[in-house]
């Protein structure tokens, strides 16, 4: 490299490389060569257990590595609020996100593993006609419960931990940008997710 472009040595020469994906080929690649894998927010426990982890293990084995060599990082849909009214608004925001992602062909495998192929075809057809408001009607409460963790600021951390225990190494929360929360609420969630309860 020419001196102009050479930044010189750095204090932390091993920078972890994570990749993201939804379907088996990229998940296997993460197992084979990456330090971590970012799971798309549109996922469920079943998808993690039956698609993500087995493919990471298969890729890791191919290169003489173990599943533990790859950090599985999940961003999860959540509906947080101190009362039903607050959670209802967030549930609908998450329902809209799920409808959009489920309509995208790349993400069809997530719906298919649950037997929701008909619904995802319906969503794709509605998206092609820009019928965004109609799409949320396809995502029923059963689907919502598969994809969204719900709770108050006091209990959502424990619920997140239960959902991801044994399936993910790192978890972050997918939230609307308008969520009004203070540092003490976030600290409460972080303690609950990170503690042995």
Are 123 and 135 a contacting pair, CB within 8 Å?
yes
Cβ of 157: how many Cβ atoms within 10 Å? 25
Q: Is the pLDDT of residue 196 over 80?
A: no
Domain boundaries, the chain: 18-184
pLDDT in tens, 163-179: 999 999 999 998 765 56
pLDDT in tens, 124-164: 999 999 999 999 999 999 999 999 999 998 999 999 999 99
Tokens of 180: 């009004």
Name the nearest CA neighbour of 126 among 106, 100, 152: 100
pLDDT in tens, 62-72: 999 999 999 99
Does 3.60.15.10 match the CATH number of domain 18-184? Answer: no
Q: Is 2 exposed, middle or buried (0-12, 13-18, 19+ CB in 10 A)?
A: exposed
Cα torsion at 104, 175, 50, 127 (round to 10°)? -10
Tell me the whole-structure pTM to 2 decimals.
Answer: 0.86
């Amino acid at each position: 490299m020419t001196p102009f472009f050479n930044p010189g040595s750095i204090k932390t020469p091993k920078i972890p490389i994570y990749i993201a994906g939804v379907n088996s080929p990229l998940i296997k690649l993460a197992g084979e060569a990456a330090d971590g894998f970012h799971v798309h927010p549109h996922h469920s426990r079943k998808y993690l257990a039956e698609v993500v982890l087995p493919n990471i293990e298969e890729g890791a084995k191919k290169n003489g590595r173990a599943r533990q060599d790859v950090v599985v990082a999940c961003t999860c849909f959540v509906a947080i609020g101190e009362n039903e009214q607050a959670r209802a608004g967030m549930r609908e925001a998450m329902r809209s996100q799920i409808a959009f992602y489920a309509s995208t062909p790349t993400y069809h495998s997530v719906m298919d593993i649950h037997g929701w192929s008909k619904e995802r075809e319906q969503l794709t057809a509605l998206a092609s006609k820009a019928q965004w408001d109609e799409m949320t009607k396809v995502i029923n409460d059963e689907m919502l419960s598969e994809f969204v963790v719900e709770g108050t600021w006091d209990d959502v951390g424990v619920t997140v931990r239960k959902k991801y225990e044994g399936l993910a190494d790192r978890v972050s929360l997918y939230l609307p940008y308008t969520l009004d929360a203070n540092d003490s609420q976030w600290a409460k969630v972080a303690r609950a997710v990170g503690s042995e309860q």
